[in-house]
Structure 1
Amino acid sequence: MAAGPDGNLVPADWSRVAWDVLREEAESIAVLAGEFGLWTVFGSVHPLTSPYRPHNSLYVVSDRGQMVARYDKRFLSHTEVSFLYSPGRRPLVVVDGLRFGFALCVEVNFPEVFAEYERLDVDCVLLSVMVDDAPRARVAQAYGTLYNYWLGYSVPAQFSAIVPSGIVAPGGRWLARCPSDGHPALVIADLDLDAQAEDIVTALRDARPWRRLARAGLYESRIPVGDPRSDTGTAF
């Protein structure tokens, strides 16, 4: 994205990107993931065939160093869709014992993304954000409360003073958070479906099943029909 002669923004010239260097870096990350036996998710720009703009993506690499999936950001900001990226088309669920869903940045402001992952029965959504925005983190945390799954919230280290990266438990509690000192760091937590913590037990075994039942037509047969005391909304 750049400014034209009149000062207005113009579409990004993606031909200027060193795509070979980006590919080398991505491949080196995959190699390291295999060497350390770590499932790894990292963000990058994924080139498409001209004339299409690239996707803003998350690459998923297995613990064997193989790229197994890619999530393409579906909901873009006005600037992104106008000048930068092509939107993606579908959610992504990756299964390795637990079921993981994926989202990017401004998508936190689209509840339908996170509701869809609840319907897809994920255990955790990994959300990567490139902004120092405290309200965005609070909204992300709320999805742990609303949908009762874990949520990984990842931001660059330079934004940690305002909102450090962390992991939200089902029910909405921050399980662990990185330091807020601006330095790169790791945060580690157990994602255990058999966890004994009271709030996680309540979220996974009570709240989540009950809310699914409530959404599946539980109330339809219980709605009063033809009762004037119910139908009239202007009387005490």
Structure 2
Amino acid sequence: MTAHRNFKRQVRARAAKTGESYTAALRHFRPESAGEARSGARQPAAVRLAVAQTPVREDPRDAEGLRAAGREVRALMREASARGARIAHFPEGALCFPHKLLLSVDGPEAVGPADWDRYRWEEARAELAAIAELAGELRLWTVIAAPHRLTAPNRPHNSLYVLSDRGGLVTRYDERMLSNTKASYLYSPGRAPVAFEVDGVRFGCLLGMEIHYPELFAEYEALDVDCVLLSTTGVRPGSPAAQAQGHAANNAFWVSLAVPTQHAATAPSGVVAPNGEWLARCPAEGEPALAVVDLDDGDEAAAEAVAHARPWRRAARAGLAAGQRPADPRSEDRGAAF
């Protein structure tokens, strides 16, 4: 422990002397050959992220509810900008999360195929356009969830729209791992991961119940993502928070978890560092709120996870994939004597 503290002290001293970040200084204390062996993980820059929690409205026929949700989103965008954020991340259903019974042709007593003509598409498009316009005015990247309409008779995607700081649509992520109800009656599944970059920091997108699929997080690690933005409405007490921490620690990247205010008492929105520790969380009182964090290497534990744990894990995986196993009969013989 003493040696470890002394090592950290040397790194901090170099950072103070040169003006480098902790991670940049840390690289000077790693042997170049070892660094090459562990290569593959990028060193992210820095960006300030605001993750929101907002109320979820479930009536797809309620035009005023959509407009009220849009006003709440824009109010939080202005707050995020005032607090210096470059990107704002909102939960699934930030505008509306249409209830399966209110869309169902067999409802409201039974779940059946969704009648998407009940969704107020024009009002939703108007709110998304106003959000995009404000993103451009504030120079604030904004990630917002909404259904994405497809050509009839195809059901829509459940999507995350990525709006740039110039107000343009950069890309869209469509939820791939749908629940049974979503897949059977509500949505069409997406096809691929989506990544984008803000100020040198690379983000990936996940949605809905995809927190339950570690392979999706591993997929983003392989795509050199620094932070995964996960928007959801469906959470169980304790489960999403613990899973978010596990995914962050296993992959040595940040995870931003955006959930509705209805779940704030048990799972408020927040951001997990690459070492699995919460950096910040929204209040548990259930009001619309933001948690604002800097995604950089200023925290020593997070910096070591990015600069050390992630490259070593990549090297281990690469070694296994390259088939670095001995050609020895005793290796294959599971019943070999001691």
- TM (normalized to structure 2)? 0.65
Structure having the higher helix fraction is: 2
Secondary structure of 1:190's match? Answer: strand
Could you tell me how far apart the structure 2 residues matched to 1:114 and 1:222 are?
27
Contact 2:105 2:115 in 1 (8 A): no
Deviation at residue 129 of structure 1 after TM alignment: 1.1
1:44 counterpart (146, 167, 171)? 146
Query: 1:116-155, aligned counterparts within 5 Å?
Result: 116-133=219-236, 134-155=238-259
Contact 1:132 1:162 in 2 (8 A): no
Is 1:103 matched up with 2:197?
no
2:324 alignment partner in structure 1: 221
Could you tell me how far apart the structure 2 residues matched to 1:52 and 1:98 are?
35
Runs of 4+ aligned residues of structure 1 deviating over 4 Å after TM superposition are 233-236
Deviation at residue 18 of structure 1 after TM alignment: 1.5
Query: 1:205-220, aligned counterparts within 5 Å?
Result: 205-217=307-319, 220=323
Deviation at residue 155 of structure 1 after TM alignment: 0.5
Could you tell me how far apart the structure 2 residues matched to 1:91 and 1:221 are?
30
1:78 counterpart (180, 198, 207)? 180
- TM (normalized to structure 1)? 0.92
Deviation at residue 200 of structure 1 after TM alignment: 1.1
Identity %: 51
- The unaligned stretches of length 5 or more in structure 2 are 1-99
- The unaligned stretches of length 5 or more in structure 1 are none
Looking at CA atoms only, which structure, 1 or 2, has the larger radius of gyration? 2
Could you tell me how far apart the structure 1 residues matched to 2:110 and 2:262 are?
29
* Greater RCO (Cα-Cα under 8 Å, separation 6 or more): 2
Contact 2:106 2:113 in 1 (8 A): no
Contact 2:259 2:269 in 1 (8 A): yes
Aligned-residue Cα RMSD (Å) equals 2.0
Deviation at residue 136 of structure 1 after TM alignment: 2.1
Could you tell me how far apart the structure 2 residues matched to 1:225 and 1:165 are?
52
1:15 alignment partner in structure 2: 117
Number of equivalenced pairs: 233
Could you tell me how far apart the structure 1 residues matched to 2:278 and 2:110 are?
42
Contact 2:272 2:280 in 1 (8 A): yes
**CA pair 200-77 structure 1, distance change in 2 beyond 3 A:** same
**CA pair 213-53 structure 1, distance change in 2 beyond 3 A:** same
